[in-house]
Amino acid sequence: MNNLLVLPMILPVLMGVILVLFRPYIRVQRVLSLLTMVLSAGVAAYCLEYIRRTGIMRLDFGDWLPPHGILFVGDSFAMLLVLAACVVSSIILLYAFVTTGIETEKMFFYPFFLFLVAGVNGSFLTGDLFNLFVCFEVMLLASYVLLTLGGRKMQLKEGITYVLINVLASWFFLLGIAYLYGTVGTLNMAHIAVRVAEAGQGPLLTLISIVFLIVFSLKAGLLLYFWLPGSYAAPPTAVAALFGALLTKVGIYALYRMFTLIFIHDPLVFKMIGVLAVVTMIGGCLGAIAYGDIRQIVSYNVIISVGFVLTGLAISTTTAFQGASYYLVHDMASKALLFLLAGTVVHLTGRSKFDEISGLIRNYPLVGWLFFLTMLAVAGIPPLSGFIGKVYIGLGAIETGSYLLLAVAFISGIGVLYSLLRIFLNSFWGETTISEDDQVSFKKALGLPLVLLAMLVVGMGIGAELLSPYIQDATNTLANPEQYIRAVLDNDLK
Amino acid sequence: MILQTVTKIVFFIILTFGVELFISGHNNPGGGFIGGLVLSSAFVLLYLVYDIETVHRGTPFDFKRVAALGVLLAVGTGVLSLLFGVPFLSQSTREFDLPVFGETELGTMTIFEAGVALTVLGVVVTIILGISEDVE
């Protein structure tokens, strides 16, 4: 038993509800929500260290022992993602303070922000499949609100697509859970894993696993990403950054959990994931290069990285898992930064097509150089944070001889670099079109979150060594699911 | 007119039934969710029979806040167990010797369920009001 484990989810929920009661007091809401996020991040960091020293944490709600009760399981992989999510969303909050209008803030912006993070953290931590569904729904409901809050036509239009797609996906999710429960008779993920292993993963179970693959692919944007660029480009910058940083990661996490713990016995499914990842990367690259809208390009970059992370799952070796863990954490920070920068450029110039903007680096040197830095990080140039993840996933691909995956993964890196370099050369380089007098002033407070995220990106690259014990631990659990199962089902280990 | 007169009585019958369902939920069919739904149906009936302003004058609280309070109550009982060093969401019961009721078992489960009931009440009424506002 360790009650700390529930705090990253329950603190935001509790504070979100309290903030509903403080509706008119925007300043109180800002301070309290930031405090909550920082506190959750602190708890997550402590838990991460605790897990490394003493092994996987587990909390049985109401002392109902597994497999009967629901529970939270904290292994390093989940906790790393929780920590990254908390840190990144704290920084995005700083950006939201400046850019979100008072009208929107009064419409329960901060409570829903906190509910979203709570849903994300809950999804990472839960050890129960139905509970995962519930946490997904908490996250999605909050995201529906945040997406449409403000009520611009674009937001409502994309909102409808987004809600419909997700309702459909949730229905499939429920269907999958029902099938699985009907087949193995349990919802505890570790217990399902044991029973699937005992029964052998026959055609029926493989079919069920493919239902889950479809569900989580819709959520993660693996192949089924058609809804993503629109709905990530529509909302205000801070919300878009939150979506880009967190939402697809939850889908990716769920895929990793399902296919490293439960459905590990059929190589066919992993081949399918590989094919999906390749198609996703190619499609993402085409989109990123085809569009002229900066926000669209950035959204397509999210898709490319989804494909990239899931090549790690398709390969499924220890090295690849290590790369994927690094890359996921890096991707949260760098995608948040990329979305914030893109939004800042659109906000400063009032335009969103990159060929209509020119010479921004004269007007806003900080934004320009940060964009350059982010571009390098996302493309995986050493010593920035994207590099190490790419190397490990590449190594994994070589180990297993999946050269096609390797080739596509690295060519997609060039696609990323090209799509962002085009923005950089066109919009930041070249003739300055905005005179010093006309330019919209760049608020200092906007710079702070950008710089913090950039420091995080650089820090994760240079300090990769510091992260490595936790990554090792995460990789260990992914590669040896029996550790996870033992931690959950062994009732003496409490 | 007839409807309004009937509603004045039926409203309280529904409320009582809601509370009855809520309390019996401990060992019999019922509970916070159903109790909350029945309670909210009482309010919806009021909104249907009288107009929104009249009801608002009679119920001077924001139903969004009721929902928030409900969630707070429900989550609060879970969080309280953290303070006692037992797992999150643990519930406990104890026998009390109360004057009128005699030997009674009181549990923190009831507080949790009350939270659920309030949440359902607040959310349902908010949704109904939200839909009706668009029509105006």
Contacts with B126 from chain A: Cβ below 8 Å: none
A63 closest CB neighbour out of B64, B76, B86 = B86
Tens-of-pLDDT digits for all 494 residues of chain A?
588 899 999 999 999 999 988 888 899 999 999 999 999 999 999 999 999 999 899 888 888 888 888 899 999 999 999 999 999 999 999 999 998 888 888 889 999 999 999 999 999 999 999 999 999 999 999 999 999 988 888 899 999 999 999 999 999 999 999 999 999 999 999 999 999 999 888 899 999 999 999 999 999 988 888 889 888 888 999 999 999 999 999 999 999 999 999 999 888 999 999 999 999 999 999 999 999 899 999 999 999 999 999 999 999 999 999 999 999 999 999 999 999 999 999 888 888 888 888 888 888 889 999 999 999 999 888 888 889 999 999 999 999 988 999 999 989 999 999 999 999 998 888 877 777 667 777 888 888 999 999 999 999 988 888 889 999 999 999 999 999 999 998 876 54
Predicted confidence (pLDDT) per residue in A269-288, tens digit? 999 999 999 999 999 999 99
For the whole prediction, is pTM greater than 0.90? yes
DSSP string, A6-18: GHHHHHHHHHHHH
* Nearest Cα residue to A481 out of A261, A197, A158: A261
Backbone angles phi, psi at B123, to 5 degrees: -70, -45
Separation CA A360–CA A348 (nearest Å) = 10
Q: Which residue of B has its CA nearest to A19?
A: B68
Query: Hey, which residues does B31 pair with through a beta bridge?
Result: none
- pLDDT value of residue A492: 61
Predicted confidence (pLDDT) per residue in B12-67, tens digit? 999 999 888 888 876 777 788 888 899 999 988 888 888 877 888 877 778 888 88
B64 closest CB neighbour out of A3, A20, A62 = A20
- pLDDT value of residue A494: 46
Task: Residue window 55-84, chain A: list those with CB within 8 Å of chain B.
Answer: 59-63
User: Would you kindly state where each structural domain of chain A is located, as residue ranges?
Assistant: 266-462
* Nearest Cα residue to B24 out of B93, B110, B97: B110
Query: Cβ(A296)–Cβ(A339) under 8 Å?
Result: no
- pLDDT value of residue A140: 95
Confidence grade of residue B136 (pLDDT, cut at 50, 70, 90): very low
Query: Cβ(A21)–Cβ(B71) under 8 Å?
Result: no
Confidence grade of residue B105 (pLDDT, cut at 50, 70, 90): low
Separation CA B60–CA B117 (nearest Å) = 19
The interface predicted TM-score (ipTM) is 0.83
Is the pLDDT higher at B100 or at B54? B54
**B65, B89, B108: best mutation site toward chain A, by most A Cβ within 10 Å?**
B89
B68 CA to chain A: closest CA distance, Å? 5
- Residue at B49: amino acid letter: V
- pLDDT value of residue B32: 82
Is some CB atom of chain B closer than 8 A to the CB atom of A10? yes
Residue A121 burial (CB count, 10 A): 34
- pLDDT value of residue A304: 94
Chain centre distance of CA A73: 19
- pLDDT value of residue B100: 67
User: What percentage of chain B carries pLDDT values higher than 90?
Assistant: 7
Is some CB atom of chain B closer than 8 A to the CB atom of A3? yes
